[in-house]
Structure 1
Amino acid sequence: MKTTILGYPRIGSQRELKKANEAFWSGRIDKDELLKTGSELKKQNWIQQQKLGIDLIPSNDFSFYDQILDACLTFGCIPKRYKNFDKNNFLELYFAMARGYQKDHLDVTAMEMTKWFDTNYHYIVPEFEKDQNFEFFSKKIIDEYKEALALGIKTKPVLIGPVTFLLLGKEKADGFDRIDLLDKLLPVYFEIIGELTNLDVEYIQFDEPCLALNLSEKEREAITTTYETIHAKFPKLRIYLANYFDCYGENLDTALQLPVDTLHLDLVRCPSQLDDILESKNYNPKTKLALGLVDGRNIWKNDFEASLKIIEKATSSILPENIWISASCSLLHTPYDLDLETNLQSEIKQWLAFSKQKLEEITTLKELSTPNNEAYLSLFEENKLANLTRQSSKLIHNQNVKDRISNLKEADSHRENNFSIRQAKQKEALKLPLYPTTTIGSFPQTKEVRNWRLKYKKGLLSQNDYDSLIAKEIENSIRFQEEIGLDVLVHGEFERNDMVEYFGEKLNGFAFSDYGWVQSYGSRCVKPPILFGDVSREKPMTIKWSTYAQSLTDIPVKGMLTGPVTILQWSFVRNDQPRATTCNQIALAIRDEVVDLEKNGLKIIQIDEPAIREGLPLRKEDWQHYLNWAVKAFRISASGVNDETQIHTHMCYSEFNDIISNIADMDADVITIETSRSEMELLNAFVNFKYPNEIGPGVYDIHSPRVPSLEEIETLLMKAKNVLPTQHIWVNPDCGLKTRDWPETKEALKNLVKAAKNMRKRELKLI
């Protein structure tokens, strides 16, 4: 029995990669310094895993931005709009694809970005043309293997599987199916594998999480063709095939018949699949099984007693040497090291395990499974006690919250009247023009703003001094918005850290780490709250600054809240009760805040739900159950106000085609979405469905530093006007502006307002 993992966090325990990337982008460090930081992080990760007893350590799981972007460069899958970039200046090309580029007479948009399966990690979406060619362009996978080898560590290189790579991408023209590009892509894989085997690589990990999806027969045949062909060409290669985030499901027989050395099982998300495999007539006991027992998506301590029972079941049918002990998926989704946390309440801390501790759990499970290994029994007893104390802890349970959940009625999830009646009342109350302009909520959080918050948190800035600084920043942002002519304003959220963490800090049932950072995309890191107990709101959370902002202007200011599903999805959520129950607890807390905002004069309230699509189960047969409770939770949060109060919601980087009716069921008066990177492509779902409510299709990409031109924004608005009722269209960026700088933000928003005014002039000429 041996140990392995699928991947490790790459941002550094102190977010070293984030800081180095942003310093490189701003010109404060050069390429060599950035590459040095990357090399040091890889070295630390490999040595850490070796030190803690991981037998087969992955390489090529590191990335400066995103592993699928890395794959695009590896396979030479570079969109034609980047043809003028010097391919020898690799990092310039790489980051232009990730972030866009606007200088030296080049103005190029970034590639699309969307959620990695049902996680809050974002990947860069590959783009495919009908005449697509591939080549072995970036040698990163070879270089990293050599880097580890130089340290005396023989690794398992990680490659995204060819079928998953194709399915994760998009056809950029009609008339072909991206899966038909497999014959062109496979020769590049053969070249990569050939170079690796020449270096005496024993194992290569092929990540094929598409095997957790509902695949067509054609797609399953592509999987079979891929691995039979690789095996035929490289019969000595040991293929480690990794699926995660769900069961193999109806793809199991296909997977079991593949000529692979090892099948990886996510036994956290799908504990039943081990039985399915052991009972299958297609399972060859010589095929190794990697038991993904340690949760790679959450931070709760493993239950050794339960895991050992699963290992025992496996060893009753399989030789121990054919079993790997592993995490359920890459540890990319969990923070680095719990040992860094000195401020967490000790009772809660004993229930947790971050990435370093998960390595220790994997090794301990291996040792506990070894006969007569009594040295680890004390760790077993310690683990058992921690899990028992969590079950009975008084920190977790609040009877008042449980009673409120049990007393929920159907009427609590419905507005008083339907949208058409509400829309008429809101138009009368708000008196907004056609193409009303707004932003999504946040404005740039400058270094000074972040520094104020840090000093305040450390007690170096008094409450009065901190409040004065925040008040001035809010006033400046209101005056700027008034000056450029926005129709609905925001207070800027300068007092907030992360959109989920901020609310978690004000709700009961949450705990917080100091170093629990995980990567969301590129250099964007988030520190998810630890949702450990029943959730309730003791007092208002946002009234102070929202009402202050509204007091500064006669123009409507939006109250800004994060929705219950997003707070749930972007937290490390308790696993001792159904997620639907926890979500309803959050919904009631948000509902209380919505009602208080209305009482305090806010006429527009935005409840952001970017994670609705993200939470969708991977298998379609499981969708409806999730959508029922997720949509209902949003409606509970939004339905306590009068018809005249306009409820907005926001969603970004999501595909809506297959759940558009459920989005409509949320019954928000206005929804704002990301459409700029896809050039309004995502709008098609709303058009085809005849979405009944108002919609703000984002007209510029805030994840790129480039400033969109006036003509560019007008072109997108004309596309929207051609397919949507004019009276339903809002004009806004595609997401919050927190991560941007003020100069580019001001220029972009000025262009946005001008574009909206030009659209109104066109309408007047038509009347």
Structure 2
Amino acid sequence: MVQSSVLGFPRIGVLRDLKKANEAYWAEKISQADLLAEGKRLRIAHWKIQKDAGVDIIPSNDFAYYDHILDHIQLFNAAPERYSSQKLDPIDEYFAMGRGHQKGGVDVPALEMVKWFDSNYHYVKPTLQDNQTFSLAKDPKPVREFLEAKEAGFLTRPVLVGPVSFLALAKADRGSSVDPITLLEKLIPVYVELLKALKAAGAESVQIDEPVLVFDLKPEVKAAFKPAYEAIAALGSAAPEVVVATYFGDIVHNFDVLPAFASLKGLHVDLVRNPEQLEPVLKQLGPTQILSAGVVDGRNIWKNDFKKSIDLIQTAIAALGADRVIVATSSSLLHTPHTLASEKKLPAEVYEWFSFASEKVKEVAIIAKAVTNPESVKAELEANAATVKARSESARTNDPKVKERQAQVTPEQHIRKSTFDSRYAQQKTHLKLPLFPTTTIGSFPQTQEIRIQRNKFTKGEITEEQYDAFIRKEIDLAVQIQDELDLDVYVHGEPERNDMVQYFGERLTGYVFTTHAWVQSYGSRCVRPPIIVGDISRPLPMTVKESKYAASVSKKPMKGMLTGPVTCLRWSFPRNDVHQSVQCQQLALALRDEVIDLEKNGIFVIQVDEPALREGLPLRKGAERDAYLEWAVDSFKLATAGVEDSTQIHSHFCYSEFQDFFHGISAENRTYTDIIIAIAALDADVLSIENSKSDAKLLKVFIDESYPRHIGPGVYDIHSPRVPAEEEFKQRISEMLQFLRPGQLWINPDCGLKTRKWDEVKGALTHMVNAAKFFREQYKDQA
């Protein structure tokens, strides 16, 4: 009989319950006992949803208060000494690694956060030392949560991050030179001990995630699978049965690793992202191994096409037999909202097109039943076929005017009028920029009062005129504070914006919006991605009114703030019936109109953020990556190239990890499609990047590539509430100057400040500006 399985469920709850509990704990409004009780309540509620839906294999240890990789850091007693030596309570040490800690005489920054593969989720990067040791935590979390589920009446399959992926996704700490993968021999005994403990607790099987198998692996990483899984297989009946899970790509290029899994129960593959890998994978399985077939999308919100999924499952059954096939989600459902049932305001037509996590677990169960006993789910199959057909025929998805404009795009529309040197000479005079110019990335704190007034306006409790007056008051405050701080290029603070993508989506055709479809981005940070359902265009200006007002009350240049086409695409739930390049070009054309309108209204510094450019990069080198970077770069240039030379174009990138893409590539073999070359091809005048938690030496890539334009590496971490001392800023800038020219360097935080409080912002920016002025004096002869 075909079984059904879910690889992981969202953690945050129906109404962002976990976010609220975490933030209440951090603010000392609830006790640790209250926080832990809320976590238990959520876990039990999520297990019940899956059991009630008819899912056969339900995960445990997929819950995390902050991040599942951070859980494993603590599980293996791998916290860097700067945290473990503080003698904090375990939960406070955990949060200190995730978000920093600055109270009670303890002052430690957070560990680095990085995007999880090509998703918008951020994980905490394991940070290891030369003398690194590992040991299993007392009362290990996977065992504790398995027993908790068992006591509540749920027999679950614990989820672990595999030893090779854990180390491959790690990095050496500052001052250390260890290659994390060389620590495998020290880590394997901890997995052995953990698996024995799970078996003793009653676990029949475990899911071990090895998502790095979708990468082009370095030889030493690929070689690590054999000793790791030979040690696990050697446990035999002393350990639960093991299913190794991969997702977000295909594993065909790593088939030579599969013999390491030959004695294990089976393998999970993502057949949503790469359905073409099914048949070659089937040929690689051992004679008794099972296939967990990921046919329900864990990354998007579209209702499953049952016919397509059933066809794939039946192909697997024909090769293996029904008892060796599991119908599963493609990945964890962490990346999807909790439940569609919370949405009361979606248009009835499109409501029928969607499926969130609680609905996807039902889809998994229905597909499993459909290949075993189709008559038992006949009504569900017929309703699904009708929905799929209705969506394909809907007039909502197609706009002939948008398609006509796309057909008329020319190569010339992608090119600025002059080269950077010529442009910057005009910009420096026009904008009166000093050496080491200071700015922020865009947003200022979204205070409770801002949220209250926005909510009142949304509900119709105040008029548009009243709301506009409130927004102008907030802009006045932002400008006044920047005057006091003596920044060089101002921002208006974005008090009118709910989210950097949603705000624009609400002003474009082709989008729909949800009320409660929140998804975890990192820690307690949740986003509510808009959904692209049709062709995209801009009916009216989107940001001109607020930016024009801000410029009118500002003494210094005011930046217009836009979200770039790639990020608008990537941080939405995109259509799955049209190629993403088509959707991205439509967004670029809409933004091009906005950029030109900003310039016409006196905004001569325009930042078009593309933090998702790196995130969207296909995980493997090859034709798909080449094509992606070509259309992504072209979309940015199409959006920004219509301005005069004296208008300065900025762009911002988060979690960039540029250096990863040059491992083993000689300079003569690098192409336009290597990421740093692509970023240079954007032709932005100023590039700001998240760099505060990375070694400054990583900036060396900009020297190696002779990057010609200006760069603002983030000088402090805005994701942490701590306020760095002025000396920290000076040290950071001094490190950057080893790799960047004084005339090239901008000074800015590493991201927007919307999640921070004003006292934190003022303190940090005061120290940042003072440090910039210090170096301005030191290098005044080069001004």
TM-score, with length taken from structure 1: 0.98
Deviation at 1:174, TM superposition (A): 5.6
Deviation at 1:765, TM superposition (A): 6.9
Deviation at 1:256, TM superposition (A): 5.4
- Is the CA contact (8 Å cut-off) linking 1:204 and 1:237 kept in structure 2? yes
| Corresponding letter in the other structure for 1:158 | V
| Partners of 1:108 and 1:765 in 2: CA distance | 37
Aligned to 2:146: 145
2:236 is the alignment partner of 1:237: no
For 1:287-298, what aligned pairs fall within 5 Å after superposition? 287-298=289-300
Aligned to 1:666: 682
Aligned to 2:96: 96
2:122 is the alignment partner of 1:128: no
Distance 1:425 1:53, change over 3 A: same
2:246 is the alignment partner of 1:277: no
For 1:83-482, what aligned pairs fall within 5 Å after superposition? 83-86=84-87, 89-137=89-137, 139-172=140-173, 173=175, 175-235=177-237, 237-255=240-258, 258=261, 259-278=263-282, 280=283, 282-371=284-373, 373-482=374-483
- Is the CA contact (8 Å cut-off) linking 1:246 and 1:266 kept in structure 2? yes
**1:451-474 CA-partner distances (Å, limit 9, x unpaired):** 111111111121111111111011
Deviation at 1:766, TM superposition (A): 7.8
Aligned to 1:710: 726
| Partners of 1:176 and 1:469 in 2: CA distance | 54
- Is the CA contact (8 Å cut-off) linking 2:252 and 2:280 kept in structure 1? no
| Partners of 2:176 and 2:323 in 1: CA distance | 49
Give the number of equivalent residue pairs: 763
Deviation at 1:194, TM superposition (A): 1.1
Deviation at 1:539, TM superposition (A): 0.5
- Is the CA contact (8 Å cut-off) linking 2:339 and 2:358 kept in structure 1? yes
Distance 1:93 1:64, change over 3 A: same
Distance 1:174 1:103, change over 3 A: closer
**1:39-89 CA-partner distances (Å, limit 9, x unpaired):** 1100100111111111111000000000000000001111121133225x1
| Partners of 1:681 and 1:201 in 2: CA distance | 45
| Partners of 1:298 and 1:195 in 2: CA distance | 35
Aligned to 2:664: none
| Partners of 2:579 and 2:752 in 1: CA distance | 31
Aligned to 2:20: 19
Aligned to 2:704: 688
2:779 is the alignment partner of 1:763: yes
- Is the CA contact (8 Å cut-off) linking 1:679 and 1:716 kept in structure 2? no
| Partners of 1:630 and 1:605 in 2: CA distance | 19
Secondary structure of residue in 1 paired with 2:766:
helix
| Corresponding letter in the other structure for 1:354 | F
Distance 1:340 1:83, change over 3 A: closer
Aligned to 2:753: 737
Deviation at 1:681, TM superposition (A): 4.0
Aligned to 1:515: 516
Secondary structure of residue in 1 paired with 2:320:
coil
| Corresponding letter in the other structure for 1:442 | S
For 1:51-66, what aligned pairs fall within 5 Å after superposition? 51-66=52-67
Give the one of 650, 655, 658 matched to 2:657: 655
Identity of aligned residues (%): 47
For 1:631-650, what aligned pairs fall within 5 Å after superposition? 631-650=633-652
Deviation at 1:656, TM superposition (A): 1.1
| Corresponding letter in the other structure for 1:363 | A
Secondary structure of residue in 2 paired with 1:471:
helix
| Partners of 2:71 and 2:697 in 1: CA distance | 25
| Partners of 1:256 and 1:53 in 2: CA distance | 33
- Is the CA contact (8 Å cut-off) linking 2:164 and 2:221 kept in structure 1? yes
| Partners of 1:201 and 1:83 in 2: CA distance | 31
Please identify, of 716-725 and 241-250, the stretch whose mean Cα deviation from structure 2 is larger: 716-725
Structure 1 residue runs without a partner (length 5+): none
2:766 is the alignment partner of 1:750: yes
| Partners of 2:606 and 2:653 in 1: CA distance | 15
- Is the CA contact (8 Å cut-off) linking 1:443 and 1:494 kept in structure 2? yes
Deviation at 1:484, TM superposition (A): 1.4
| Corresponding letter in the other structure for 2:762 | K
| Corresponding letter in the other structure for 1:718 | S
Deviation at 1:175, TM superposition (A): 4.6
Please identify, of 452-461 and 257-266, the stretch whose mean Cα deviation from structure 2 is larger: 257-266
- Is the CA contact (8 Å cut-off) linking 1:231 and 1:237 kept in structure 2? no
Deviation at 1:727, TM superposition (A): 1.1
| Partners of 1:39 and 1:345 in 2: CA distance | 35
| Corresponding letter in the other structure for 2:20 | K
Secondary structure of residue in 1 paired with 2:446:
coil
- Is the CA contact (8 Å cut-off) linking 2:292 and 2:328 kept in structure 1? yes
| Partners of 2:734 and 2:176 in 1: CA distance | 22
Aligned to 2:672: none
**1:527-547 CA-partner distances (Å, limit 9, x unpaired):** 000011100000100001000
Aligned to 1:488: 489
- Is the CA contact (8 Å cut-off) linking 1:702 and 1:733 kept in structure 2? yes
Deviation at 1:295, TM superposition (A): 0.4
2:562 is the alignment partner of 1:561: yes
- Is the CA contact (8 Å cut-off) linking 1:489 and 1:556 kept in structure 2? yes
- Is the CA contact (8 Å cut-off) linking 1:130 and 1:176 kept in structure 2? yes
Secondary structure of residue in 1 paired with 2:34:
helix
**1:294-328 CA-partner distances (Å, limit 9, x unpaired):** 00000001001111111111111111011100110
- Is the CA contact (8 Å cut-off) linking 1:561 and 1:605 kept in structure 2? yes
Please identify, of 329-338 and 194-203, the stretch whose mean Cα deviation from structure 2 is larger: 194-203
| Partners of 1:766 and 1:272 in 2: CA distance | 58
| Partners of 2:434 and 2:167 in 1: CA distance | 44
Deviation at 1:688, TM superposition (A): 2.4
| Partners of 1:174 and 1:105 in 2: CA distance | 26
Deviation at 1:587, TM superposition (A): 0.5
Secondary structure of residue in 1 paired with 2:398:
coil
Secondary structure of residue in 2 paired with 1:316:
helix
Secondary structure of residue in 1 paired with 2:515:
coil
Aligned to 2:553: 552
| Partners of 1:495 and 1:182 in 2: CA distance | 50
Structure 2 residue runs without a partner (length 5+): 662-674
Distance 1:381 1:214, change over 3 A: same
- Is the CA contact (8 Å cut-off) linking 2:293 and 2:326 kept in structure 1? yes
**1:561-607 CA-partner distances (Å, limit 9, x unpaired):** 00000000000000111111110000100111000000000010000
TM-score, with length taken from structure 2: 0.96
Deviation at 1:425, TM superposition (A): 1.2
| Partners of 1:702 and 1:679 in 2: CA distance | 17
Secondary structure of residue in 2 paired with 1:613:
helix
Task: Calculate the aligned-residue CA RMSD, in Å.
Answer: 1.3
**1:681-732 CA-partner distances (Å, limit 9, x unpaired):** 4422223222110011111110000001111001111112222111111111
- Is the CA contact (8 Å cut-off) linking 2:692 and 2:715 kept in structure 1? yes
| Partners of 1:167 and 1:273 in 2: CA distance | 24
**1:511-538 CA-partner distances (Å, limit 9, x unpaired):** 0010110000000000000011100000
| Partners of 2:731 and 2:5 in 1: CA distance | 51
| Partners of 2:337 and 2:165 in 1: CA distance | 26
Deviation at 1:234, TM superposition (A): 3.1
| Corresponding letter in the other structure for 2:587 | I
- Is the CA contact (8 Å cut-off) linking 1:115 and 1:122 kept in structure 2? yes
| Partners of 1:190 and 1:315 in 2: CA distance | 33
